[in-house]
Structure formats: C-alpha cells, structure tokens
Amino acid sequence: MSFARAFAGYTNFVKKNPLGSQCLVAGLLWSAGDILSQSITKRHERIHAATVAPHEKHDSSIDWKRVMIMSSYGFFVAGPLYTFWYKTLDKVVEPLLVRAFKRSGKDVLGISKTQMVWNVAIAKVAADNFVFEPPYLSMFFLSTHTMSGTPFPEAVAHLKADFWPTYVTDILIWTPIQFINFRFVPVHFQPQFVNAFNIGWNAFLSYMKHEGSHYHAKPVLPVQ
C-alpha cells in the first residue's frame, strides 16, 4: 500500500512539475552514469596495472569535478531539452501525419485508431533519430568539453572525431527503446522512461567524451 501511495505521489509530482522533475532526475542520473563510467574504467586500469607494475599504487579516486560537469549538463541542458522535445512531438507529429495522408490522397477516416497510433510512434522515432539526436549529441560534446576547460576549436575537433561512432551506437540502442516509449508510455512519463535506461547510456557518453574518444591531438612541433 505504501509503494502504491508513493508512486501515486510521484506521478502527481511529475504531472504538476514536468520540467522540474525531469531536470532533477536527469542531473542525478548523469552523475550516476559518470560515476559508473569512472568506476569501470578505473577497475580496468587497476587490473592492468596489477599485471604491469604490481608494486605501484594506482589512483582509484573519483574525479568529482568531472561528475559535477556531467551532472550540470544533465540538470541544465538534457532535462529541459527532453521535456520540451517530448511535448513538441506529442503536439506536432499526429497533425503533420494527418496532413501528409490527406495530401497523398489517403482516406484519413479509413485509418483505424490503432493503425494511426503505430504510425505516430514510427514517425516520432524517426524524428527523434534524425531531427533531435544529431544536434543534441553535438551540443553534448561541445558543451561538456567547454565546461571542462577545453578550448572551443579543440572541442570542435573532439566532436568531429567522436560524433559518428556515438551516433551510430545511439541509433542501434535507442531505436527499439524509443519505439516502446512512444507507442506505449504516456507523454508525461516518456522522459522518465528514457531515464530508466540513461545510467548505462550516460556512462557510455561519459566514456566517449573522456577515455573512449577517437580524438588524437596533433603533436606540438618544437620551435626552430
């Protein structure tokens, strides 16, 4: 009974405070994702160090400044963007589909409600993959590198090196998740549904920004 009451209270909070609840949850999950990413990386480093230099001490402490940067991105950027995007999709996609069907000569009245729901879900996934994700990932790399103190030209170089590997992985992982989200989850819970998978995804993005980057700095030539 207490769980049902707590869930009802949470549902009420999300409905009344969609932006605030999403920002709060996004900030917490981006923190958790980065801590997870650092923990996994440092564990592998310890294992490697134990075989190469077993008597040397290895720093296994969490970089809390990095955690705060990723958390700030979640709270101030990802949270508001997700909230705005899902509301926009819910308002825009179905009317656009109806208009497109009418222009193509299809009888809209002949399309069942169930079929329309499936069409809307597919259209939302396509919009999420090809309209939202490219600028969102670009903003992620540019803003987090800038917040970390990376000069903007170098942040752009990181973006160019890491965008496509990250984007391809994004499409493969999120397409089925978002299809379930858009087809079966009420719109006010859609950001929260995404957040259920975001710890693992945020850990991957943090890894791509830091340890897994494809960016290689050009060597600095000595001054003649």
What would the pLDDT profile of 47-76 be if each residue is shown by its tens digit? 877 776 666 676 778 999 999 999 999 999
pLDDT of residue 42: 87
* The predicted structure's pLDDT at residue 220: 42
Q: What percent of the chain has pLDDT over 70?
A: 92
pLDDT at residue 107, as a whole number: 79
What are the C-alpha distances in Å from 70 to residues 10, 20, 207, 213? 25, 18, 11, 16
When computed from its CA atoms, the radius of gyration of the chain, rounded to whole angstroms, is 21
Picking from 91-95, 133-137, 160-164, 191-195, which range would have the lowest pLDDT averaged per residue?
Answer: 191-195
DSSP 3-state of 47 = helix
pLDDT at position 222 over 60: no
Alpha helix (H) ranges present in 185-223? 190-209
pLDDT band for position 188 (cuts 50, 70, 90): confident
Predicted local confidence at residue 148, as pLDDT: 92
Give the helix ranges, DSSP H, for 104-188: 113-127, 133-147, 152-184
Confidence of residue 221 (pLDDT cuts 50, 70, 90): very low
Higher pLDDT, 224 or 122: 122
Amino acid at 139: M
Mean pLDDT of the chain: 88
pLDDT in tens, 73-93: 999 999 999 889 999 999 999
**Are 128 and 89 within 8 A, CB to CB?**
yes
Tell me, what's the pLDDT at 177? 96
pLDDT band for position 1 (50/70/90)?
low
Q: How far apart are CA 220 and CA 205, in angstroms?
A: 28
Q: How many CB atoms lie within 10 A of CB 149?
A: 9
Q: What is the mean pLDDT of residues 106-132?
A: 92
| pLDDT classification of 223: cutoffs 50, 70, 90 | very low
In tens, the pLDDT along 199-214 reads 899 899 988 888 888 8
